[in-house]
Structure 1
């Protein structure tokens, strides 16, 4: 099963529209894992755009995820894959109180689980809990990713591959019959070591030439360097940020605008002094955002 998850910041960093609702990503993924488990799917991959630290937190918090393939933070991890281990409740050793605390179990079923293992021996797999009177598929699905039949930790493999296609990530995973990760092999492959494919290059030429001509078209000039580096525009005022906001205000004055606000994260490049080309503008403001005029009281 494959689950996709994206940062809730998307609600205001992009334009998802009025019909998209963003919820807590950890709760949403846990629900999706439970839904897949209820269908008998126990090999689960999460495609995440939350960022490295939140991917690690997701792996530690949500039971039942085998692999997280992440993005957003553009992380090039020192260890590929990074392994997050966590222990589940061993139903062959759990106490009455520990079993009672599981969702949907309670005192009666906890007692039956203990009686079953004492009379018939240890559970060999989690699905053996279905043999306990009162535990059906729905109850098993609710606890499937919370329990185990041994003290061995369950593992979640977390990967990212940097940014801008500088690396390709390769990951090979082996699962046991229950869907647990038992072995893996992975590596980050630098793409600079590979030449462009001639046939692909040939097809790109037809598109590249007119695009390059458009990008080189001079549309203005700047007397000074305009600062748009990530570390600057996301933390402080810059001359390029001011220029962009002033340009938006100039355009929106026809609608009565008095001030303009622009998100620093939408500025993606600096510009040296000299001619300004169409390509420069696309590099600085690559997103198809909309100008919105609204009235604020205060």
Structure 2
């Protein structure tokens, strides 16, 4: 999430108890807590609260119940029983994720209006078509006796529900789906060349033939171009910095559609402007590369930029990998050394700026210090607008790629 600086996060137990007390004061006797703090935290918070009867949880995507017969591991019983601060029974449930399961819970209350007992099942939601791989490894759809065998297993186990699509719901959905499909096909421009994807130059992230070789020295074509689009759409920005992992696909030569843009940039991010010194810019680049190469980090942290270029040496210690940092503004004709004492306006995505995600800690520090501004420009829509404006997406000149040279962990120049 991307909370505002004014958002206050209270202690969950304290906030929940306030709400419970307010409801009790209105004469409400049976309390169901809807939470999004995870299964283990639900079990912990139950003991801290008075008067809570049922907790319906989320966040941890926990499957409850016994599905071991199908090779599926669950995290506990459905429902899970606990005690509240009063010593009364609390029933805790959660139903996996993404409509894969549905919980069915029955709660009985005693004369004191506390829980006497609760029972139920978590049901795995299945369709009517089933597949498996044959001896050759090919996926085949079950039919005949094989399908009948699966249906018989489902019929015997109340935890398994085979459901037919609801015709009326399907009709409503199809009305919207058709409009979305039509919009996704709208052509907004053309790519003159294959624009290859890459994360850390030389890692060969794209599996499209020729891309690993094409991106080895300077990184991804499309990743660099996305940064240029963001800087162009953020009118006052001088530099754009984008994490490699936020860019998801190669863009083939030919028509570029709205669907291309939203597959390329699928996250709910906005363009975010930050006022940063040259020293802070170097710091955030060092942080990003460290997170990209360290164990437990993510290669998606590797930075791409517009208006900024560098040499990076992965054989050097963290914090000292960048050199030859140069800046060129939108209207400048030549590159100049990045001024460590000057303040530049940098545009990035809200995930990096607000949360410091992918190791971009300095971005968050700058924003927390009051030097950030959310433009509320959707980042995928910004790329759509840039493509419509330019009409043709071309590979940038090599001189505009942010990674001008990269040395691997052995200190060898990648070419």
Name the TM tier (shorter chain).
0.5 to 0.7
The corresponding residue for 1:14 is 2
Displacement after TM superposition at 1:248 (Å): 7.0
Q: How does 1:214-225 map to 2 (within 5 A)?
A: 214-217=183-186, 222-224=195-197
- Matched with 2:59 is 72
Relative to 1, partners in 2 of residues 1:34 and 1:60: Cα closer, same or farther, differing over 3 Å?
A: same
Give the aligned length: 209
CA displacement at 1:209 relative to structure 2: 1.5
In structure 1, what is the Cα distance between the partners aligned to 2:80 and 2:17? 21
Who is 1:256 aligned against? 237
Q: Which runs of 5+ in 1 are unaligned?
A: 1-12, 89-145, 147-152, 229-237
CA distance in structure 1 between the aligned counterparts of 2:49 and 2:223, rounded to whole angstroms = 43
Q: How far apart, in 1, do the equivalents of 2:226 and 2:99 lie? A: 31
How much has 1:241 moved relative to structure 2?
A: 12
Deviations 1:53-103 (Å, cap 9, x if unpaired)? 2222211222221111111222212321111135x5xxxxxxxxxxxxxxx
1:207 pairs with 2:176: yes
Q: Distance in 2 between matches of 1:63 and 1:185?
A: 22
Matched, 1:194 2:128: no
C-alpha distance in 2 between matches for 1:76 and 1:222: 41
Q: Using the alignment, how far apart are the partners of 2:17 and 2:9 within structure 1?
A: 15
The equivalent residue for 1:291 is 271
1:60 aligns with 2:33: no
1:48 aligns with 2:29: no
Identify which of 63, 87, 93 aligns with 1:159.
93
* Local SS of the residue matching 1:254: coil
Q: Hey, which of these two has a bigger chunk of helix by percent? A: 1
Contact 1:80–1:187 under 8 Å retained in 2: yes
Q: In structure 1, what is the Cα distance between the partners aligned to 2:14 and 2:93?
A: 21
Is the Cα contact below 8 Å between 2:42 and 2:55 reproduced in 1? yes
C-alpha separation between the residues in 1 aligned to 2:103 and 2:180?
A: 30
Question: Is the contact made by 1:154 and 1:181 (CA closer than 8 Å) also made in structure 2?
Answer: yes
Per the TM alignment, residue 199 of structure 1 is displaced from its structure 2 partner at its CA by: 2.2
Q: What runs of 5+ residues in structure 2 fail to find an aligned partner?
A: 65-73, 127-161, 200-204, 207-218, 281-415
**What's 1:140 paired with?**
none
Give the TM-score, by structure 2 length: 0.42
Q: 1:172 aligns to what? A: 106
Residue 82 in 1 paired to residue 69 in 2?
no
Contact 2:251 2:260 in 1 (8 A): no
Q: Aligned partners of 2:244 and 2:62: how far apart in 1?
A: 23
Paired residues of 1:244 and 1:262 also in contact (CA < 8 A): no
Q: Which has the higher strand share?
A: 2
Instruction: Verify the 8 A CA contact 2:54 2:92 in the aligned structure 1.
Output: yes
Pairwise CA RMSD of aligned residues?
A: 3.8
